[in-house]
Amino acid sequence: MNINSGIYCILNLLNGKYYVGSATNLKHRKVCHFSDLKLDKHDNRHLQNSYNKYGHDAFSFEVIEYIVDVDLLISREQHWIDFLDVCNTEYGYNLQQIAGSQLGFKHSKKTRNLISRVQIGRKASAETKEKMSKAQKGHIVTQATRQKISEGNKGKVRSQKTRQRITDANIRRFAGKTENHPMYGKHHTAEAKEKIRQGHLGRKQSEETKRKRSIVLTGRKHILETKRKIGLANKNRVWSEEEIAAVTKRLIEANHNRKGQPLSEQHRQNISKGLKGNQNGLGKKHSIETKIKISRIKKEKFAAKQKEYYRERDALQLTLFA
């Protein structure tokens, strides 16, 4: 009975190191291995480097075990990998600790560059995209995996070149058309919005980020449709005490920073242009509740000024008559 399948090893006769593998056709596998080694293109760079160093005559192809049932190849290969400890660089050339897997295998830089060039400009068909979409549906990333991703990205700063490549890729992807965006026509659920909000709580932008946002937004104006949407979103909106306090704080800080600084001529012109034709307040009246709030605030301000006046007057009298 002629048996062609089994477990083999490539033995270095000079240093005693092994490379262990399995094959359904041992003769064919032997030819493939030594052909790749001779052409300096073997996938296993550890074995290839050793071949380049010692030469062809230093290596021998040996059959360790013939196997009739090919379903047993992987399990028997795993046995010999463990038994000979060939993943230990002191004893062997194998890169994968698990038989039949790519665990531990790394492509060379040359191979990675070749793969990258092949993928450039390649687009998945509609059928492939549909299959990818179905494969991802219902897939839930575990909390442990999310934590690992988060830890891996912490402190990572993308280079200017990488950021530019991402920008260029997005420009090509969407081609300036809003409908090409994956979120076009979709809306976040209330749960998703709450998660986003919680994720941004306490998060502060750096001064550099603020400066970049300022440069990008300078001169940008909302279109009428956007203004209409903002108006509808804010209509009948009820502000919480926390939101009011936060907005008030920002306004106070902004005014404090500008205190004592005269408005530039350009700033005055912008305010003038913004007010021209503004009829938002015409024909509108404050509600009773708003009038009461305004009255209370005015009274409080007046009382504070009056208290300050009497305090200064009393201090002056004490000084004069002391």
Residue-wise pLDDT tens digits, 228-246: 888 888 777 777 888 878 8
Give the separation between CA 76 and CA 2, rounded to whole angstroms. Answer: 19
Quickly state the pLDDT bin for 141 (edges 50, 70, 90): confident
Domain boundaries, the chain: 6-112
Average pLDDT over every residue of 75-102: 85
Q: Which of 46-60, 156-170, 239-253, 274-288 has the lowest mean pLDDT?
A: 274-288
Q: Which of 40-49, 74-83, 139-148, 287-296 has the lowest mean pLDDT?
A: 139-148
User: Does the pLDDT value for residue 252 go beyond 80?
Assistant: no
Quickly state the pLDDT bin for 49 (edges 50, 70, 90): very high
Give the separation between CA 85 and CA 97, rounded to whole angstroms. Answer: 9
Q: What is the pLDDT of residue 103?
A: 44
What angle separates helix 45-54 from helix 26-38, to the nearest 10 degrees? Answer: 70
Average pLDDT over every residue of 177-191: 77
Quickly state the pLDDT bin for 184 (edges 50, 70, 90): confident
Give the separation between CA 146 and CA 139, rounded to whole angstroms. Answer: 13
Tokens 């205190």 belong to 259
Share of the chain above pLDDT 90, in %: 18
Give the separation between CA 234 and CA 238, rounded to whole angstroms. Answer: 9
Helices in 71-206 by DSSP H: which ranges?
73-84, 109-119, 126-136, 143-153, 160-174, 190-200
- The mean pLDDT of the chain is 81
Highest mean pLDDT among 189-193, 228-232, 283-287, 317-321: 189-193
Give 79 or 146, the one with higher predicted confidence.
79
Question: How far is the CA of 306 from the CAs of 3, 121, 153, 303, in angstroms?
Answer: 108, 75, 57, 5
Give per-residue burial for 116-152: e unless 16+ CB within 10 Å, then b: eeeeeeeeeeeeeeeeeeeeeeeeeeeeeeeeeeeee
User: Does the pLDDT value for residue 134 go beyond 90?
Assistant: no
Phi, psi of 61 (to 5 degrees): -95, 120
Q: What's domain 6-112's superfamily in CATH?
A: GIY-YIG endonuclease (3.40.1440.10)
- Residues 6 or more apart whose Cβ sits within 8 Å of residue 207: none
User: Does the pLDDT value for residue 29 go beyond 50?
Assistant: yes
Average pLDDT over every residue of 176-199: 79
Average pLDDT over every residue of 5-22: 92
Average pLDDT over every residue of 202-227: 83
127 residue type, one letter = E
Quickly state the pLDDT bin for 30 (edges 50, 70, 90): very high
Q: What is the pLDDT of residue 282?
A: 54
**CA 50, chain centre distance (Å):** 40
User: Does the pLDDT value for residue 280 go beyond 60?
Assistant: no
Average pLDDT over every residue of 122-127: 80
